Amino acid sequence: MNNNKINKSLFPQFSLAAIMFAGASLSSASYANDISHKLRDARGEQTTTENYFELGLELATGIAPSLTDDDDKWAGGYAVVNGNYTWNNLFIEKYGESGEGLILGYNAYESENWSLDLVVGPKFRGLNFDDKFNDLDERNTSAMLGGRLTGYLGDNVLQFTLKHDISGSSEGTLASALVGRNWQVRNWNFHGLVGVHFFDSKINDYYYGVSEAEASRTQFTEYQPGSNVNFSAEAGVTYPISEEWVFRSTVRFSSVSDEDMNSPLFETTRSTKMSLSTSVSYVF
């Protein structure tokens, strides 16, 4: 989540909602899929998602704001879990390399070029990973329920989402609009992806705000953030080493506003986040 604390109107939220419902009235979609995975699919078929499962190892490095460290650089090795299973328009999806968690969904509408899915899944995490947050109120994972509209316009893949927390944790709303495409060069599948993301003030305040009561019993100053909009970009390449093994490499960038970094919970602040990752996965 980008935690930018820009006090903006809800116009981006309503705009994306309007795009979603307007798009659903057009010739509708043909698959349920995370857009990052779809762009890496060299076949480029507009068909219902295939069932698959894969495990891999990812090496990644980057620079980003930090809640617990005065160093904004990080690096490490991570397990990669990707998979999808579809049954009678119901599906379960996990594409770890996209940054999204486990998603349960139902394909509510589809046609030649557009698809509308109803999806639910966990988003964000609490602050119990470091002792310095022990005296703050507990932050729990949000269960985000909403719609995901995906479609083709020429060679481009578009995906719009609008979700609301139904768990009673943040009770907030998020929205996003993504567009990308891929280019096949022999067996190398290159892709690019850009997006805009909106988080309302309830999400930002729940995870990175500090209430008056919390400020009175901790070293943190009181802080109440507003909503925010941030931008992202991604470029990557996928290469099938064999029928079972797949190589991927991705570079990602996203903006972080100065207002975002006003939260006293952050140890290190930055105006951007960047990462480079490389993985090898085995497809079952």
Cα 260 from Cα 273, distance rounded (Å): 12
pLDDT digits (tens, 9 = 90+) for 119-178: 999 999 999 889 999 999 999 999 999 999 999 999 999 999 999 999 999 999 999 999
3-state secondary structure of 230: strand
- Higher-confidence position of 27 and 216: 216
Looking at residue 204, the DSSP 8-state letter turns out to be H
Classify burial at 185, counting beta carbons within 10 Å of its beta carbon; exposed 0-12, middle 13-18, buried 19 or more. exposed
pLDDT of residue 215: 97
The phi and psi torsions of 38 (rounded to 5 degrees) equal -60, -40
| Residue 4 within any structural domain of the chain | no
Arithmetic mean of pLDDT over the chain: 85
What is the DSSP code string of 64-87? Answer: --BSS-S--EEEEEEEEEEEEEEE
Among residues 66, 16, 22, 36, which one has the least CA distance to residue 198? 16
| Residue 127 within any structural domain of the chain | yes
Looking at residue 113, the DSSP 8-state letter turns out to be S
When divided into structural domains, the chain yields a total of 1
Cα 196 from Cα 19, distance rounded (Å): 13
| Residue 15 within any structural domain of the chain | yes
Radius of gyration of the chain (CA): 19
Structural domain of 261: 11-283
Whether the pLDDT of residue 80 is over 60: the answer is yes
| Residue 5 within any structural domain of the chain | no
| Residue 201 within any structural domain of the chain | yes
Residue 43: pLDDT band (50, 70, 90) is: low
Mean pLDDT of 258-280: 91
**Number of alpha carbons in the 13 Å side-chain half-sphere of residue 239:** 11
Residue 36: pLDDT band (50, 70, 90) is: confident
| Residue 173 within any structural domain of the chain | yes
3-state secondary structure of 237: strand
Whether the pLDDT of residue 4 is over 70: the answer is no
CATH number of the CATH domain containing 183: 2.40.160.40
pLDDT digits (tens, 9 = 90+) for 219-265: 999 999 999 999 999 999 999 999 999 999 999 999 987 777 899 99
pLDDT of residue 137: 96
56: tokens are 């891999």
Mean pLDDT of 168-191: 96
| Residue 62 within any structural domain of the chain | yes
Residue 217: pLDDT band (50, 70, 90) is: very high
| Residue 1 within any structural domain of the chain | no
Whether the pLDDT of residue 2 is over 70: the answer is no
